Amino acid sequence: MPRPTPRNAIAALFTGILLVAIFATMVIWFRSDLRTEIHQTILERDAAVLYPMALQQVMESEEEKPGNPSAPMTALLGSARQKGMIAVAVFDRDGNTIGAVPSNQLFVELPTDDYLRLARGLPITRFHPSFPLDQYFAGVSPSQRQAPVLEVLLPLPGVGNAVMRGFVRYYIDARPIARELSLIDGRINRQTAVILLMGATLIAIVLSAASFSIQRAQRLAAERNERLARANFELTLAAKASAVGQLASHLIHGLQGSVQGLQAAVADGNGSSPSPAWEAVAGYAERLQTIIHETVALLSDAGAGASYELTGKELAATIRERNLAAADEKGVRLEVDQGFPATIDSHRGSVLCLIANNLVQNAVTATERGRRVGVSVVDTGQAIIISVQDEGAGIPDSMRPHLFKPGKSTRPDGSGLGLAISQLLARQIGAQVSLVSTGPSGTAFRVTLPKQPLSHSG
């Protein structure tokens, strides 16, 4: 399975951070707007309550004292006795101070900006979380120098809103409002944190799913490319094997006459008392002639389409006969079981022999003198299995992924073609060559051929 490269991981991480940052910015921006709107609504609530009360006080005062123009405005100073009211100041239509309660207010005046806005009939509401009481009132104790205060300024229009009567300013104890705003801010902050956490989690899940889908697509593409490359390699190898087979057929037919001549020469040179060297040469020539006959027979059968039946016992005996001499020469004990009574067609049986011979030769080469190579030929009912077990030093870890690839061999003088060609030959008859186990105590290979079609002797 392909792993994500550092560049892809960094890109995915950067994308996730960027998305989370954008999402967090939008959430915080909406949170700020929502907080401001809620604060403004709560603060304007008191102004909305005070405005009709102030107008009612002015109208009642006009009815009681119709000849005194300042009396309606000074009547508003009585609002200072209401619970939570800190101070009240009244101004005429020109912004001049008419009166203020309590009397210890230091500076009672209407700023120009506030006057211009009030003159247009617009009320003003301000929240001061830390209002400096000692700067506006005389005789304030040091422990009460600052407190939350709500400042409300109201315009008071005359009859028919044609003439402005004046303006009033209230300083209200805002500690309850501060607590309310603090509770609202806490809820907004908690909800914002939950939304940020959920959004970041969803973004992480979506990015992880997208990354997994991309990796899966890359893995599938890599597997398909690998299968395509292997198919191309096997087609090339098959073409080469076919060409090599044709060439081998010509060479073997050419060698057959030469070996027969060699046998005749050896027979003539032996005389009546042959030496051990001549006997060895004669044995090698006879063995070479036998191998040539077998190969020619296989090539002839494959070319002519000839087919006959081989039992499992004959298959095991053939494997033993073809490899016993090499094992004896190496000093390795070769043990082949008796096989099974079921039969197999000669074509697949011959190919199985070629594959088994290659595996046995590799096992003999890997096994030290005095040790054992075991071969079993088993009929499981569903498949024919040929197992080859040696007592060599095992296959290195670095070589195991490349066992069936040409050019990779555990022997310094090996070409790596043996196992690759064996696997290719196995696939031609529907079989499979696999590594069963390997380690310091030895290596085991297995050839599995499904039983289709197979028959049993009566």
**What pLDDT does 389 receive?**
94
* Residue 424 or 449, more confident: 449
**What pLDDT does 373 receive?**
94
**What pLDDT does 60 receive?**
78
Share of the chain above pLDDT 90, in %: 20
**What pLDDT does 204 receive?**
86
What is the number of residues in the chain?
A: 458
Task: Kindly tell me if the per-residue pLDDT of 307 is higher than 80.
Answer: no
CATH number of the structural domain 307-456: 3.30.565.10
Q: Kindly report the CA angle at 455 between 433 and 342, in degrees rounded to 5?
A: 65
Per-residue pLDDT tens for 195-237?
Answer: 989 988 988 888 888 888 888 888 899 889 888 887 776 676 5
**What pLDDT does 457 receive?**
41
Q: Which fold has domain 6-173?
A: Beta-Lactamase (3.30.450)
Measured CA to CA, the distance from residue 164 to residue 50 in angstroms comes to 18
The winner for highest mean pLDDT among 69-83, 188-202, 210-224, 263-277 is 188-202
Task: Kindly tell me if the per-residue pLDDT of 10 is higher than 70.
Answer: yes
**What pLDDT does 58 receive?**
78
Question: Looking at residues 399-414, what average pLDDT do you find?
Answer: 67
Strand ranges, E, within 3-145 = 85-92, 97-101, 124-132
Sheet holding 442-450, edge to edge: 333-336, 372-379, 383-389, 442-450, 432-439
* Residue 230 or 135, more confident: 135
**What pLDDT does 455 receive?**
42
* Residue 8 or 11, more confident: 11
For all residues of the chain together, what is the average pLDDT?
Answer: 79
CB of 68 within 8 A of CB of 160? Answer: no
Q: Where are the domains of the chain?
A: 6-173, 307-456
**What pLDDT does 139 receive?**
82
CB of 175 within 8 A of CB of 157? Answer: no
* Tally of CA atoms within 13 A in the half-sphere of 209 that contains its CB: 6
Question: Looking at residues 77-87, what average pLDDT do you find?
Answer: 83
- Helices within 65-174 (DSSP H only): 71-74, 112-119, 133-136
Place of tokens 């609530």: 45
CB of 124 within 8 A of CB of 44? Answer: no
